[in-house]
Amino acid sequence: MLKRLGVFFLDILQTIVLALAIFMVVYFFLMQPHQVRGSSMFPNFKDGEYLLTDKISYKLSNPKRGDVIVFEAPPNQREDFIKRIIGLPGEKVSIRDGKILVGSKELAESYLPSSFSTQPGTFLEEGKSIELKNNEYFVAGDNRNYSSDSRMWGPIKRESIIGRAFFVYWPPQQMGVIPGITYAGF
């Protein structure tokens, strides 16, 4: 009887260790949960929503314009930010009359309400442009008036990107795949 009990507990311990090992591999190498904090991504993502971040796709391909990413925040690298990629390496980004321009083309952002306006920041001032280096990305929150982003502190480096947000899993009524964005003329 004692031997059976020992085998039973050993089986449970092996199952727990295996489940923990699988969880650790998934968490550290494949995907990770993140919570939206604040209103910087409103109206597309709301405060308190939980997202899954794909940590492997950017090891196989480059980030794309329109991707919603999670990265180490430049002001405080102990915190993760969620923003949208606007400018890619080698591009020039500027703000003119409440609109973002990539090169000389206005970026048509269909995911934003028409009433939203993009104001310049302390880093990217009205009418001035920034040219992104090989490993730099310009990111912005969807709620431009309430977002600390590349307009304030400059571009982010590729190595600070944790991954691409791809799925909202909480709250249940918002559950679903985060759609990819395409921009006319880009």
Point out the residues that are catalytic.
40, 83
User: CB neighbours (10 Å) of residue 52?
Assistant: 20
Rounded CA-CA distance 22/16 in Å is 10
User: CB neighbours (10 Å) of residue 6?
Assistant: 10
Rounded CA-CA distance 98/117 in Å is 5
β strands within 31-147, DSSP E: 31-35, 50-54, 68-72, 80-87, 92-96, 99-102, 105-106, 129-131, 136-140
Rounded CA-CA distance 178/98 in Å is 26
- Taking CA atoms, 53 is separated from 50, 58, 60, in Å, by 10, 11, 15
User: CB neighbours (10 Å) of residue 126?
Assistant: 12
